[in-house]
Amino acid sequence: MEDQRSCIAGCPVVSAKSPADASGIVNGARLADQRLWVALSDPLRDGFDCCIRYGSGGWPGIEADCLAQETVFPVSAPALIAKEANANAAMDLTRLPLIHDLMPVGWAEWFAAAGGATPKSNGPVFSDSSLALRAAIDGLGVVLGRSVLASPDLVAGRLVRISKRVIASPFSYWLVRVPGQRDGLVELFSRWLLDHVLSQ
């Protein structure tokens, strides 16, 4: 009988529940017979071997290992700031539309860390950080990029960082599981996440 294992990924960018064959995600690894479910779930309640959770940690009744700590910094489409040669200073951003999301760290916290007053909101507000990033890619303004979520678009050149200032988010990405439950397949999946998904 094949060793069928399940893991689950849950984070704010997930909006659907659907199985995805995890075969081939690690060349030559023993993951060919495994299943990766993308959904919002709990390992204790739903019987999964592990979950990916986005949050501040400290959840009761589960074991959590931090996979990636999140930082926040302004990003925009390259074309938006083509004429803003000096956009490295915090106050220069007040000349640009600021895109907002509903995460705990927003523009008020960023401008406070930069030592400036928060400008009056002059851009769209999204409940989902991935939609806010998409708006920035489409040239609608500057958004506070969340390091893990924004990384693929920065690498691809769809977004550029427009300030060197970085502030820490209270949220991180965690691998969670039933306490004391450790095995080679879960550790292999964790390493794959670090190398191919959460690398920054």
Task: For residue 74, give the 3-state DSSP assignment.
Answer: strand
pLDDT digits (tens, 9 = 90+) for 26-68: 333 444 555 555 555 666 677 777 788 888 988 888 888 888 8
Write down the pLDDT at residue 13: 32
Q: Which residues pair with 71 in a beta bridge?
A: 168
By CB atoms closer than 10 A (0-12, 13-18, 19+), residue 59 is middle
The alpha carbons of the chain give a radius of gyration, in whole angstroms, of 19
Write down the pLDDT at residue 25: 38
pLDDT digits (tens, 9 = 90+) for 110-156: 999 888 788 876 789 999 999 999 999 999 999 999 998 999 999 99
pLDDT value at 183 more than 60:
yes
pTM: 0.71
pLDDT band with cut points at 50, 70 and 90 for residue 16: very low
pLDDT band with cut points at 50, 70 and 90 for residue 193: confident
Which ranges in the chain belong to alpha helices (H)? 43-46, 107-113, 129-137, 147-156, 184-192
pLDDT band with cut points at 50, 70 and 90 for residue 179: confident
Write down the pLDDT at residue 196: 67
Write down the pLDDT at residue 34: 57
Q: For the chain, list the domains and their CATH numbers.
A: 6-67+171-197 (3.40.190.10), 70-168 (3.40.190.10)
Output the average pLDDT for the chain. 75
Q: Which residues contact 95 (CB under 8 A, 6 or more apart)?
A: 84
- If you ran DSSP here, which 8-state letter would residue 79 be given? G
Residue with tokens 């700031």: 81
- 65-98 b/e (C-beta count within 10 Å ≥ 16 → b): eebbebbbbbbbbeebbeeeeebeebebbeebbb
Mean pLDDT of 187-193: 78
- If you ran DSSP here, which 8-state letter would residue 120 be given? P
Task: Write the single-letter amino acid at 102.
Answer: L
Write down the pLDDT at residue 40: 59
Query: What would the DSSP string read from start to end of 8-63?
Result: EE--TT----EEEE-TTSSTTSTTTT-EEEES---HHHH--SEEEEEE----TTSE
Residue with tokens 């956009």: 87
